[in-house]
């Protein structure tokens, strides 16, 4: 009985491990084709926003983005763009309310963390 129980547990464990490995490999293959490039960042004085324009240069549609904002002595995450989707070859606009102290902003895909680009406050037109 003990041997039969051990075989059943091993079979269940094998099934789980192989499914996990398959999903990880599939995600890695998809994310290896994901790339974004920051086209432009400019300050709009009428809205008070820094507008960040991102171009999807990869071969996959990217869904969900976060903005990682570095301030003088803190970091914060803007999750206003979790539903944003950018198809391959398309651009996306990410408006960010400007306040003093912002040093840099990283736009990052949630699905594929390697699909990211950064702008520093010195590169923002109009500031």
> What's the CATH number where 44 sits?
2.60.40
CB 62 within 8 A of CB 88: no
CA-based nearest residue to 39, from 109, 91, 85: 91
Q: How big, in percent rounded to 5, are the helix, strand and coil portions of the chain?
A: 25, 45, 30
Are residues 27 and 51 both part of a single domain?
no
Q: Which domain holds residue 105?
A: 35-123
The overall pTM is greater than 0.85: no
Are residues 13 and 39 both part of a single domain?
no
What element of type H or E holds 54? strand 49-56
Are residues 70 and 51 both part of a single domain?
yes
Are residues 49 and 3 both part of a single domain?
no
For the chain, what is the domain count? 2
CA-based nearest residue to 71, from 33, 42, 99, 90: 99
pLDDT tens, per residue, the chain with 127 residues: 778 777 777 778 777 766 765 565 555 556 888 899 999 999 999 999 999 999 999 999 999 999 999 988 889 999 899 999 999 999 999 999 888 889 999 999 998 888 899 999 899 998 8
């Amino acid at each position: 009985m003990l041997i039969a129980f051990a075989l059943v547990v091993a079979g269940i464990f094998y099934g789980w491990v192989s499914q996990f490995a398959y999903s990880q490999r599939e995600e890695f293959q998809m994310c290896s084709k994901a790339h974004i490039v920051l086209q432009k960042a400019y300050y709009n004085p009428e809205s008070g926003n820094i507008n960040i324009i991102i171009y999807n240069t990869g071969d996959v549609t990217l869904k969900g983005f976060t903005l990682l904002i570095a301030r003088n002595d803190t970091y914060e995450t803007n999750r206003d763009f979790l539903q944003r989707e950018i198809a391959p070859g398309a651009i996306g606009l990410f408006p960010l309310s400007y306040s003093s102290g912002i040093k840099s902003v990283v736009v990052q895909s949630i699905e594929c963390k390697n699909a990211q680009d950064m702008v520093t406050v010195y590169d923002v037109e109009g500031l």
